[in-house]
Structure 1
Amino acid sequence: MKQLRIFIRKEFAHVLRDRKTLLILFGMPVVQILIFGFALTNEVKNSKILVVDHARDIASQQLVAQIEASRYFEIEKTAWNQQQIERGFHEGQIKMAIVIPVNFGQELMHQNDVQVQLIADASDPNLATTLINYASSVIQDYQLQVNETTKIPYRIIPETRMLYNPQLKGAHNFVPGVMALVLMLVCVMMTAVSIVKEKEAGTMEILLVSPFKPILVILSKAIPYLLLSLVNVTSILLLSVFLLDLPVHGSIVLLFAESTLFIITCLSLGIFISVKTDSQQTAMLISLMGMLLPTILFSGFMFPIENMPVPLQILTNIIPAKWYYIIVKSIMIKGLGIASIWKETLILAGITVFLLVISIKSFKIRLA
């Protein structure tokens, strides 16, 4: 244990002396959290929605059929009460709910206007706004069709409601994404490069023939980056709360516990890369390009996963950042607990164990 503390202290000293490393560790999170002030607006299609048809008359069925025929929406299921709607949003099964009131057809024909409620998950404000606009457009098209066959003009008034983010602030979307991006890049790249550096310098052979166990060599490299990454998480949360006015609605303890799990996942990936590479340049290239693009493209941070072809949607399941992004949004924005994110937590834990087992089996006690 004393030897482990000595190696960890040595690694801390090495990191703190390197200004470039410190700039990447602490400069990148601050810069990204400040410059990612807006999100991209993308076309949305095949988004899963929930329809609550309280009327179940001919007019409401025609409206539901028109919504279902649209390429923008995919009706996941129907519900009959508010609890089912809330559960659908909490579990991330749906992006929007459409509530058709009782006596929809009668009110439309006799009172000439009726309200339809549109409820969207505004933790991603751009997606929520787009879905509301698409649904309003479909309802307006149905209204025009009805008016073509009647002499009296009828009006269907959409009543919108944005859950979790009524003001549609962009920070609710990009802060969880930046957290996943920063931790993935910092942990994977720094761990991989620091271990490969020992190989290139020839000091890894000395460490392996010393009484110090090889697994402790790896741990001494990973632990400093675990602690420094937790500092990054703290700095991002402080900037979010005090600068971007984005409070944490869920448990801080749970958020840090899940962040620690994700950091360990990223460290495991960095160790795996370091085991498979022999030069810092290769390790950095794989870590930077191999992690940056998948995190941006396949985590749901910038581009809705529902828009992607099915093979790519399947591919996103092996991206750790996707699951962490869902976890952070659920805790920070929706205020949910472990009961709502236990599946994502298990998936991250499984990826971590898999990477560690593969890395340990591939780790060479003797270097060629």
Structure 2
Amino acid sequence: MKQFITFVKKEFLHVFRDRKTLLMLFGLPIVQIILFGFALTNEIKNAKIVICDYAKDNATQQIIGKFEASRQFEIEQTLLSHQQIEAAFKQGKIRMAIVFPANFNNDLLHQNNAQVQLITDASDPNTATTLSGYATQIIVDYQNELMQLQELPYRINTEVRMVYNPELKAAVNFVPGVMSLILLLVCVLMTSVSIVKEKETGTMEILLVSPFNPFLVIISKAVPYLALSLINLTIILLLSVFVLGMPINGNILLLYAVSTLFIITALSLGLLISNVTASQQAAMLISLMGMLVPSILFTGFMFPLENMPYPLQLVSHVVPAKWYYIIVKSIMVKGLGFSAIWKETLILLGMTLILLVINIKKFKIRLV
């Protein structure tokens, strides 16, 4: 244990002596969280929705048919009550719910006025606005068709309610995404050069002839970056709350616990890259290109995954940032507990264990 602590201290000293590493470790996350939080927006299509039809009359069936024919929407299921809508949102499978009240067609024909309620998941404000606009346009088109057939003016009032993010703050969507992107990139990049740096400087030979266990070498390389990444996480959360005005609705301890698991996943991935590369330049190139592009494309906070071909959606399943993004949104935005994120947490845990086993197997006890 004394050797292990000594090795960890050595790694901390390496980090603190390298100003470029410190700048990348703490400067990059601050810049990215501010830029992404204020500057970026996105849009979505082919969104999964649910319909709660209390009327079940001819008018509602025609409108539902228009939603089914639309390329912007995919009806996940038809619900029986409002209570099921909240459960559907908590599962994270839908973007919007449409509610038709009882006597919809009767109100439309006899009072020339009917109500429709659109309930959207505003944890992604741009998506919520876009989908409510598409839905409203479909209903207006149906209203115009009725007015062409009848002399009396028919009017359908659409009520829109935004859940989770009624103020439509863009930060609510981008903060979780940037958290997953930053933590993955920084952790992978920092640890990917740790072992290969020992090879280039010649100190790896000393480690290999020492009685130090290879497993402890790997762990001691990761411990300093784990501690520093948790500091990074705290900085990101403080900026999110006090600069971007994004509240943390869920359990902060649960968020830290799951974030720690994600950080360990990223560190394990970085150590694997460091194990299989021969130079720091190669390790950094693989880390940046191999992590940056998949994290942006397949996480879901910039480009909706449902728009992608099915093979690419399968590829997204092996990107750790995707699962962490879902977890952070569930905790921070929706205020959900562990029961809502246990599957994603289990997937991250499985990835971590697999990466650690591969790291131990790939660790070379001989340089030649």
TM-score, normalisation: structure 2: 0.98
Cα displacement (A) at 1:313: 0.9
Residue 148 in structure 1 maps to residue 148 in structure 2 = yes
Tell me whether 31-40 or 152-161 shows the greater mean CA deviation.
31-40
**Alignment match, 2:334:** 334
**Alignment match, 2:40:** 39
Aligned mates of 2:39, 2:118 — CA distance in 1: 24
Aligned mates of 2:28, 2:149 — CA distance in 1: 60
Percentage of pairs with the same residue:
65
Aligned mates of 1:2, 1:210 — CA distance in 2: 14
Cα displacement (A) at 1:272: 1.2
Alpha carbons 2:214, 2:360 under 8 Å: kept: no
Cα displacement (A) at 1:261: 0.4
TM-score, normalisation: structure 1: 0.98
- CA deviation vs aligned residue, 1:183-240 (integer Å, no higher than 9, x gap): 0011101001111111111211210210111111111110000000000000011111
Aligned mates of 1:363, 1:199 — CA distance in 2: 12
Aligned mates of 2:223, 2:134 — CA distance in 1: 48
**Alignment match, 1:28:** 28
- CA deviation vs aligned residue, 1:293-337 (integer Å, no higher than 9, x gap): 111111001111111111111111110000000100100000000
Q: Secondary structure at the match of 1:77?
A: strand
- CA deviation vs aligned residue, 1:134-170 (integer Å, no higher than 9, x gap): 1111111111112111111111111000010000001
Q: What stretches of structure 2 of length at least 5 have no aligned partner?
A: none
Amino acid at match of 2:75: I
Alpha carbons 1:176, 1:328 under 8 Å: kept: yes
Cα displacement (A) at 1:39: 2.5
Cα displacement (A) at 1:41: 2.9
Alpha carbons 2:125, 2:173 under 8 Å: kept: yes
Cα displacement (A) at 1:2: 0.7
**Alignment match, 1:205:** 205
Cα displacement (A) at 1:338: 0.3
- CA deviation vs aligned residue, 1:2-52 (integer Å, no higher than 9, x gap): 11111111110110111000001111111111111133333x322100000
Amino acid at match of 1:41: N
Residue 88 in structure 1 maps to residue 59 in structure 2 = no
Alpha carbons 1:47, 1:306 under 8 Å: kept: yes
Aligned mates of 2:81, 2:254 — CA distance in 1: 30
Residue 124 in structure 1 maps to residue 134 in structure 2 = no
- CA deviation vs aligned residue, 1:103-134 (integer Å, no higher than 9, x gap): 11000111111110001001011111111111
Aligned mates of 2:41, 2:251 — CA distance in 1: 29
Q: How does 1:44-193 map to 2 (within 5 A)?
A: 44-193=44-193
**Alignment match, 2:275:** 275
- CA deviation vs aligned residue, 1:43-95 (integer Å, no higher than 9, x gap): x3221000001100111111111111101000001111222111111110101
Tell me whether 105-114 or 349-358 shows the greater mean CA deviation.
349-358
- CA deviation vs aligned residue, 1:340-367 (integer Å, no higher than 9, x gap): 0001001111111111122211221111
Alpha carbons 1:187, 1:225 under 8 Å: kept: yes
Q: Secondary structure at the match of 1:10?
A: helix
Amino acid at match of 2:201: A
Amino acid at match of 1:366: R
Aligned mates of 1:162, 1:294 — CA distance in 2: 30
Aligned mates of 2:45, 2:240 — CA distance in 1: 30
Aligned mates of 1:84, 1:204 — CA distance in 2: 59
Count the aligned residue pairs.
367
**Alignment match, 1:218:** 218
Alpha carbons 2:194, 2:271 under 8 Å: kept: no
Q: Secondary structure at the match of 1:318?
A: coil
Alpha carbons 2:191, 2:221 under 8 Å: kept: yes
Q: Residue 121 and residue 107 in structure 1: after superposition, are their counterparts in 2 closer, same or farther (change >3 A)?
A: same
Aligned mates of 1:115, 1:216 — CA distance in 2: 65
Cα displacement (A) at 1:288: 0.6
Q: Secondary structure at the match of 1:118?
A: strand
Residue 291 in structure 1 maps to residue 258 in structure 2 = no
Residue 250 in structure 1 maps to residue 250 in structure 2 = yes
Aligned mates of 1:39, 1:105 — CA distance in 2: 42
Alpha carbons 1:49, 1:74 under 8 Å: kept: yes
**Alignment match, 1:348:** 348
Runs of 4+ in 1 over 6 A off after TM superposition: none
Aligned mates of 1:120, 1:309 — CA distance in 2: 25
**Alignment match, 1:241:** 241
Alpha carbons 2:323, 2:348 under 8 Å: kept: yes
Alpha carbons 1:39, 1:126 under 8 Å: kept: no
Aligned mates of 1:358, 1:237 — CA distance in 2: 32
